[in-house]
C-alpha cells in the first residue's frame, strides 16, 4: 500500500518534470537548435505533418538552422510554414536549402522570456505540490480504513516530502539553467 502510494506520486512528479522540460525547450534562446522547428507543421499531400518528417533539419552553425526538404516542390511550403509559425524566424531559400538564421534577442525580449520561464516553473512546482497533497490524502484514507499505523503514515509522509523537495530543487535547477541560457549573448 505505502510503496504503491509513494511510487505513484514519484511517477506523477517525474511526468511534471518531463512536461516542464518539454515546455522550456519551446522557449527560444539566442542559439539555434533543431528542436525549435519540431512543432512547425507543413501541409504534405493534404495532411499536416511536422517539418522534420518532410525535410532534413540540421544546424548550420550556432546561429543558423538548415532545412533541406526531401522533395523539391516542398521547398516553398516548408519556408512558408516556418515563416508563419509565429517563432519570429525569417527563413531564406538558397537553391534546395532553406537557411533559418536566429535573430538576436533584445534585452526586453529576454526579460519577457524569463518571465514566461518562471511562470512555467511555478506551474510545475504547483503540480508537484498537488501530487504531494493527493499522496498525503491517500495515506490519510489508509489510516482511516485501518490499513496502516500512524507511525507508518508519518514515515510515508516524510518520504513523500523528501521526494517533493527533490523535485522542486530539480525544477529550480532547470529554471536556473534556462535563465542563464537566455541571458547569454
pLDDT digits (tens, 9 = 90+) for 43-82: 988 899 988 899 999 988 888 899 999 998 889 999 988 8
Q: What is the mean pLDDT of residues 133-159?
A: 91
Taken in order of first residue, the domains within the chain and their CATH numbers are: 2-26+106-183 (1.10.132.20), 34-101 (3.30.1360.40)
Residue 101 CA to residue 103 CA, distance in Å, equals 6
- The C-alpha cell of 149 is what? 499505523
The answer to whether the beta carbons of residues 20 and 120 sit under 8 Å apart is yes
Residue 117 CA to residue 147 CA, distance in Å, equals 42
Which residues 6+ apart lie within 8 Å of 159 measured at CB? 6
pLDDT(106) > 90 = no
Residue 27 CA to residue 174 CA, distance in Å, equals 13
- What confidence category does residue 30 fall into, taking pLDDT thresholds of 50, 70 and 90? low
- What confidence category does residue 146 fall into, taking pLDDT thresholds of 50, 70 and 90? confident
Residue-averaged pLDDT of the chain: 88
Sign of CA dihedral 131, 133, 139, 145: negative
pLDDT(121) > 90 = yes
For residue 90, what pLDDT is reported?
87
Helix (H, G, I), strand (E, B) or coil at 66: strand
For residue 167, what pLDDT is reported?
95
Kindly state the percentage of the chain with pLDDT values over 90. Answer: 41
For residue 185, what pLDDT is reported?
60
Range with the poorest average pLDDT among 73-82, 107-116, 166-175: 107-116
Residue 178 CA to residue 106 CA, distance in Å, equals 16
Amino acid at each position: 500500500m505505502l510503496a504503491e502510494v509513494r511510487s505513484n506520486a514519484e511517477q506523477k512528479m517525474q511526468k511534471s518534470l518531463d512536461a516542464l522540460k518539454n515546455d522550456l525547450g519551446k522557449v527560444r534562446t539566442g542559439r539555434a537548435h533543431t528542436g525549435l522547428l519540431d512543432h512547425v507543421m507543413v501541409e504534405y499531400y493534404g495532411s499536416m505533418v511536422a517539418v522534420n518528417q518532410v525535410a532534413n533539419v540540421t544546424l548550420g552553425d550556432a546561429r543558423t538552422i538548415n532545412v533541406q526538404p526531401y522533395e523539391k516542390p516542398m521547398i516553398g511550403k516548408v519556408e512558408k510554414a516556418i515563416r508563419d509559425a509565429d517563432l519570429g524566424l525569417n527563413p531564406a531559400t538558397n537553391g534546395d536549402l532553406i537557411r533559418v538564421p536566429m535573430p538576436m534577442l533584445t534585452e526586453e525580449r529576454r526579460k519577457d522570456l524569463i518571465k514566461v520561464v518562471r511562470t512555467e516553473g511555478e506551474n510545475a512546482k504547483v503540480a508537484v505540490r498537488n501530487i504531494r497533497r493527493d499522496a498525503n490524502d491517500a495515506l490519510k484514507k489508509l489510516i482511516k480504513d485501518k490499513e496502516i499505523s500512524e507511525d507508518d503514515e508519518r514515515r510515508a509522509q516524510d518520504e513523500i516530502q523528501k521526494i517533493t523537495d527533490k523535485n522542486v530543487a530539480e525544477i529550480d535547477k532547470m529554471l536556473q539553467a534556462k535563465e542563464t541560457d537566455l541571458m547569454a549573448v
